[in-house]
Amino acid sequence: MTIKEKAGQMCQYVALEHYKHTKKLFNGKVPKNSDQYAFYPDLSIQEIKDMVVKGEIGSFLHAKDLNEVHELQQLAMKSRLKIPLLFGIDAIHGHAVVEGTTVYPTELSLSSTWNNNLLYEIAKETAQEVRATGMHWTFSPNVEVARDPRWGRTGETFGEDPFLVSQLGVAFTKGYQGNFGKDNILACAKHFVGGGEPFNGTNGAPIDVSERQLREIWFPPFKAQVDAGVYTFMAAHNEVSGIPAHANKFLLTDILRHEWNFKGFIVSDWDDIEHLHDIHHIAATKDEAVKLAVNAGIDMHMHGPGFLVPLCRMVKTGELSESVLNRAAGKILKAKFMLGLFENPYPDKTYARKVLRCEKHRKTALQAAREAIILLKNDGLLPLKNKKKIMITGPNANNERIVGDWVLKQPDENVITVYEGMKDVFDNCSVDYINSGESLRHPDNEKLKLPVAKASEYDAVIIVVGSNSLRYQDPEKTCGENIDRANINLPGNQLKLIKEIYAKNKNVVVVLVNGRPLGEPWIKENIPAVIEAWEPGAYGGQAIAEVLKGKINPSGKLTISIPYCSGQINYFYNHKPSSFFHPYRDIPSEPLWYFGYGLSYTTYRYSELNVPENAYINDTVTVSVNVTNTGNVSGDEIAQLYIRDNYSSATRPVKELKGYKRIHLNPGETKKVEFKLPPSAFAFYDINMNYIVEPGEFTIMTGSSSRDEDLLKKTLIMNNR
């Protein structure tokens, strides 16, 4: 291969239909800070096609469908070496940026199931749909740890706990990649690293952390993906302790490649190599930015021109070693071989018709929505029984906001809104939808008058509120990528609607459809029933209605703490002991809702916690607890295990999740739940940054949530041999 052909493999461009759409949408002037749309003013469509034929492009993203993929692969087959193209796509919770596919719940919603096997199956099905459209690579899983709910991408994560994020991320990685058969795709661990706790809550803002925090909080989920065989990584937008991730040799080479032995390739995020020059200002020119990024460890440029020419020139002049090209091109070519693209680069149109949104995938999406819904409060109002007339209102009651971010417009008949779900499920009573206005950013108080006036006429009122993450409604978005907020209250006039209806009718259920935590203490203090649905996907409306009626017993649990208000940020359950030594004067020091919390239509009792009194530091410790369904409804419970290192050479969190199991229990049934704790469960970085288990006293805790009153506790003494 020539230098240019090797460098060409490192070049990714947006696909042609995306280019055309963007040019038309913005009349040739894309906003400078757009991370969603792109076209290349100095390149025509024909020139891009010619570059493919010349072997100067190795990958595309944002292809529209299999017809476009087929056309571009035909061009690649005209190149000298006939190297197939690699197509990447943002298949984040299903292949949902392509029309007519299965839209699963978003990641934060999926994490609320605490069901590794279910997430594995969803990733496997997603991979099948991605391959059916001729694409090969998803920019998922996002295994950042979400520690600031102001951040708009919180819903794209698996929550705030490194252990849980690691486990669920591995389920996605293994489901996507499998053994790289015809139905598998490349997974991408992103964004490496630290984007989940930006200093001001905005996407891409700096993070300044110690190596201790990197290794204890941020690194573990990414290391878990490497151990699971993930083949691609994506660097983060943000700088880490003063060095942008895209120029951070410590992260991309010293840690990822050398310490962890990562074998795949690293792709830049959207224009982030250029941003080393025009945002971070560590490169005086864009050519210098290319040099910094490639030397740090970046293997593929997302996206467009400005990369190939300076890269080739610097290799020819000796400013860059040709070994960087060999490293990057070799790993990218290996991916194409693993995926079988050299044997068959073209998609099968007949297969796509069988796979996309097939019955099996639709059932999985519905199951996920059912398992993810969290009952936060219930003063006896739910399930709704013997109601003759129900009103449903609220800005998220009858639209597609249930599908969340990373979804393009799907056919209306493919999405069940909450109102549509209520109409179908509550077939024995009258369900009326009254529009209260849908805009969250430009609310109209006049539209509140009718639902408020009618509220007293109904046996119960369902108010569906929350946020809007739909990227095809960009001016109205209040959540999602690059949509960050200073506050975590309900935007617009939603709380006003709830208060005024509650004044007329006390039988109110608030259903939250939202992409990140929303803290509204008044709702918790006053409303008798509250459901957190997050963004439950295309079948979320049906699942919500089934929970409201009692056809489904809710079993989801929070994977992120919900702060009392924005002034309590950053709040996370695994905080250090001194965090609340002095309490707030004006608000509680406890969160509004605890990590791991979620109610059911039945009750569970934990008993007979069995913990050995002593163990050795290199032992695997077995812990067990009995869980009994003490109610009269069958249900699923998520048993959780936490530990605390009571005395240590460096400070440790007040508790850390180290195990969880989802179990099904019939009324009166008891099951013994067993947890195996390897030495790594007790290990940490000591005062000298050595990763060890220190002998001493540990508290073992099991129960239904991280809240102290929900946990049984016993002490374990760890001894040296």
Active site residues per annotation: 269
Cα separation, 618 vs 174, whole angstroms: 28
**Where do the DSSP E strands lie in 456-528?**
460-466, 508-513
- Contact call for residues 540 and 514 (beta carbons, < 8 A): no
Cα separation, 424 vs 552, whole angstroms: 15
Structure tokens at 448: 């509140």
- Give 550: exposed, middle or buried? Use CB within 10 Å, 0-12, 13-18, 19+: middle
Q: Which is nearest to 477 in space by CA: 148, 91, 36? A: 36
- Contact call for residues 666 and 679 (beta carbons, < 8 A): no
Cα separation, 601 vs 599, whole angstroms: 7
The most distant pair of C-alpha atoms in the chain lies apart, rounded to whole Å, by 80
Query: Edge-to-edge strand order for the sheet containing 621-629?
Result: 604-610, 621-629, 670-677
**Alpha carbon 414 to chain centroid, angstroms:** 22
- Contact call for residues 187 and 138 (beta carbons, < 8 A): yes
Q: Which residues contact 708 (CB under 8 A, 6 or more apart)?
A: none
- Contact call for residues 77 and 345 (beta carbons, < 8 A): yes
Structure tokens at 229: 């065989």
Q: Which residues contact 292 (CB under 8 A, 6 or more apart)?
A: 246, 247, 276, 282, 283
Q: Which residues contact 693 (CB under 8 A, 6 or more apart)?
A: 617, 618, 679, 682, 683, 718
61 SS3 class: strand
- Contact call for residues 115 and 371 (beta carbons, < 8 A): yes
Structure tokens at 490: 């309900």
Q: Which is nearest to 171 in space by CA: 227, 228, 127, 133? A: 228
Give per-residue burial for 431-452: e unless 16+ CB within 10 Å, then b. Answer: bbbbebbbbbeebeeebbeebb
Structure tokens at 367: 């199951």
